[in-house]
Structures are given as structure tokens and as C-alpha cells.
Structure 1
């Protein structure tokens, strides 16, 4: 099912000299569920360019996901921060976040169709080269983009940042089209060594081009500057790590450049 665009509202701002990054809150549907995303691109560039999907943390589609979309737009991509929960639903407490994420994960067929709806919206945008699509995700979103790769969606690259590794549907030989990058905090208590071992064995068995990077001392949510605040507020092992954040983003940028040149 193709997404239906309900409304677009434009707000322009400049990230750098010569750049005119445009932010568009977008609404689309899968089935009876309204999805509220955010599209960012540089409208000073006339050529069509690759599109990148950005999947939010378990808190939901928030400003952090939008900021990553803007960052990608400033690098010359068109980026869509997607809504996997529906209606732009946000959690203010880990109990709600866990509930929202769990509802998605227990029905991955619906999650896949929601992702495909966002992907279709991105592919059909005027600025996007429809055959050049990749996806990145954070925490919950990192696990989601890995699952989309496992299901054989036509993605060039997926990047998971402090995401969950256990497979709902393990990768099979000849199915995964994407190159897979995983950026993990070595001190993340939510990612066990057995998860890492199983993931690496899964990727090798399925002959998937992949890389796994562990950042010493980095905890869960290491790319999010608000992680320290959330960690303190809810007594969770979350912490921002500037070095790991910058290094993982540089590695993603390099990989995207290598694919799309």
C-alpha cells in the first residue's frame, strides 16, 4: 500500500553557507493508522539524491530523530525521520516506551508495512533518486532497520546505533540486500556478549557484508546528547559519549560516501 500524504508544512533554515535545508512535517497512512514523519533536504540542490530513512529510539518520533534527518540533509541526502508508533506518539516514561516498542515488535509484519509506507513516501519525493535508499536507526530503531534488512527490503545500507541485535527473523542466504553496519557501546548492559556472538554468526552464515564496532566505555544511547538527562531521571544506564558519537557518525558517512560517491 502506497502512503497517502495528508499535509506538508515547510520551514526553511540554513545549516551552512549555501545550504538551504528544508524541513517538512509529513503525514501518511498505512491501513487505518496515521503516521507523522519529518522530511529534510537541501532545496538548493537540483539533482536527485539518495534517500535515508531515520528510525527513532523507543521514546518515539522526537526532535532527536528530526535533528539526525536535518544533519543528513546538510550532507546532501534527503532524509525521512519515520514514525513507527503511529500518530507521532511519544513516551515520557520508560514504561510507556517499552510498551510502545513491544507492540511494534510483536507484530513485525505490520511494522514492515509501516516501514515500507515511509520508504515509498521517500522514494516518491521530488528530490530523491528512488533506487538509492538506505536506513539508520537508534536503539529501538536500530533493531528495526536490522529487521528490515533481514527481510530483504531493497536498501543499500543499514546503520544501527546502540540497537538491539537479537533477530525476530534471522537473515538467510541470498535475502539481505543491504550492507549492515552496527555501532555498539562496549559498556551497554542491554547488549549481551551472546547477542553479539549470535549476530556475528548470523551475518557470516547469511554471507552479509557487515561490520560491528564496539566503542570502549560507551553505554546505551551514546549518540544522544539527552542520554545523561534520561539516565539520571529514570535511573537507567544511559550516557552520551561524544567521541563514540562522532566516530560512529564519521564511519556511517564514509560508508554512505563509498556507496553513493
Structure 2
């Protein structure tokens, strides 16, 4: 396993926008980790703050449909800054990052059409996170954005050993809805009311699925928010490709604040 160590540089502007406090003289470290799943190469990103001593909860972060890039790594840094060990995993494979929606859709469909392979990729990353000396192996959550939101929800439906999962503007439907007893994790969902990719009917159906399966869940819908509302690059990409993508600073800040409270309570 190849590991390249580098020091994290504070994301001052992003932290200010998203309401994340910067720790004085905190030294966040990051490692790019190459790993294999069923003979395929993947590249993830581990972040932690070595000012925190001993084990702490671990958080997996799953990327958008574009692939594993700077955005998901920034989120891992932000989690590390809060005192977690975060691992931004790779669901597509090393060097598979899309610059065009057609390629992003191709990458996404290859994963979503084979849920067993998707589970293998997720579980491999989960085990890699648990192996880290800074991680309390019995305290793990997962966050996902867009495509990643659907992934973490499907992993919860599959009964993986996670304390909680958080989906941001992710697809909420499932080929096989959860039954009672399937989902052990607490579930938190953030969605946009003006997101045509996740319409109200899908949100309502998801809520009914969670209630029927007796899941501890909460859904927050943001008025006026479109798809990818947590990503500052969304508006530009939406305009470039004529897609209903737009950044919403208020929804972004509020969802991150609620995520922090969710994780605090989850691991209290």
C-alpha cells in the first residue's frame, strides 16, 4: 500500500463560509492511499489532526458523481479539523474523474448497476479506515454527496455496521427498499426542494420507506435549493452544462452545522 504524507493547509475561506472553526496552530495531516479491491486500483485520502490524542471516531466520505477530487478531500479535511479521522474513499477507480456529465454518468452507472461490487468497494474502504491507529473501530459514520449520498444510504440498507449516515442532495430511491431490521444506522438526509433529480414524490416515498422499516431518520428539505447545493463549484458547472446545479450558501452552512450536531450526538 503506497502512502504519501503531506501537511494540510487551512481552508480559511471555506471554513468561514461553512461555519467551521479553525483550530489555533492545529496540524492536520493527510495521506493519499493507494489500495486495491478485487484486483482494481483505487486512490483514497485520509485526514486527521494529530493535536488530538488517541483514538477518535472515523468518518467515511463518498464523492459526487464526478468522482474523487478536491471537493471530497476538502470535506475530509473539515471533518479532521473537528477531531475525526476522515477517509475520502474512491468508488470509481484511480484516475477516474469526469470533466463532462456523460463520463460522470458512465462512471456512476457502472457502480450503481452492480451493487455487490459497490458494496465490496465501500467495505474495503471501511476496513482500511478501521485499521488506522487514530480510529475507534466501533465508532464509524459515513457521509455522501450526490452519487455518494445514494451510496451511503444503500450501504445502510445493506445493513453495514455504521453508527450513522448522512446524505446531501443524494438520490433517495432504492431498487430494494429497506425492511424492518435492515438498517442499524441513524439516517440524516439533506435535500433541495427545487432539485428535479430528487423530486418531492421521491422524498415522500423515502420517508415512508424509513417509517415502515422503523429507522431513526430525519429529512431536511431546503426551499429554493437545487441539486449539488453544498458545492461552491455547482453553479458554474450547472451553467456550463445546462444542468439544474446551483450552490446555496445558506443550505450548505445549515446542513454542515446540523451534521456537526448529528455527529456530536452520535458519538457522545
Query: How does the TM-score come out when normalised to structure 1?
Result: 0.96
Q: Does residue 192 in structure 1 map to residue 199 in structure 2?
A: yes
Contact 1:147 1:168 in 2 (8 A): no
Among candidates 92, 102, 124, match of residue 85 of structure 1:
92
Matched ranges for 1:222-241 at <5 A: 222-241=229-248
Alignment partner, residue 159 of structure 1: 166
How far 1:22 moved relative to its partner? 0.4
Q: Does residue 13 in structure 1 map to residue 8 in structure 2?
A: yes
In structure 2, how many angstroms separate the alpha carbons of the residues matched to 1:12 and 1:260? 27
Output one character per residue of 1:199-238: Cα deviation in whole Å (capped at 9) or x when no partner.
Answer: 0110000000000110001110000000011011101111
Alignment partner, residue 24 of structure 1: 31
Q: CA RMSD in A?
A: 0.9
Alignment partner, residue 257 of structure 1: 264
In structure 2, how many angstroms separate the alpha carbons of the residues matched to 1:107 and 1:218? 30
How far 1:192 moved relative to its partner? 1.6
Contact 1:147 1:169 in 2 (8 A): no
Query: How does the TM-score come out when normalised to structure 2?
Result: 0.94
Secondary structure (helix, strand or coil) at the match of 1:10 reads strand
- Length, aligned pairs only: 256
Alignment partner, residue 131 of structure 1: 138
Output one character per residue of 1:118-151: Cα deviation in whole Å (capped at 9) or x when no partner.
Answer: 0000001010001100000000000000000000
Moved over 6 A (4+): none
In structure 1, how many angstroms separate the alpha carbons of the residues matched to 2:25 and 2:54? 15
Among candidates 111, 116, 119, match of residue 123 of structure 2:
116
How far 1:24 moved relative to its partner? 0.5
In structure 2, how many angstroms separate the alpha carbons of the residues matched to 1:8 and 1:195? 41
Among candidates 95, 103, 111, match of residue 110 of structure 2:
103
* Unaligned residue ranges in structure 1 (runs of 5+): 1-5
Alignment partner, residue 68 of structure 1: 75
Q: Does residue 47 in structure 1 map to residue 44 in structure 2?
A: no
Secondary structure (helix, strand or coil) at the match of 2:210 reads helix
How far 1:14 moved relative to its partner? 5.0
Output one character per residue of 1:123-181: Cα deviation in whole Å (capped at 9) or x when no partner.
Answer: 01010001100000000000000000000000011000000011132111112110000
In structure 2, the CA distance between the partners of 1:19 and 1:54, relative to structure 1 (3 Å rule), is same
Contact 1:55 1:145 in 2 (8 A): yes
In structure 1, how many angstroms separate the alpha carbons of the residues matched to 2:181 and 2:242? 43
In structure 2, how many angstroms separate the alpha carbons of the residues matched to 1:142 and 1:13? 25
Alignment partner, residue 18 of structure 2: none
Among candidates 190, 194, 213, match of residue 183 of structure 1:
190
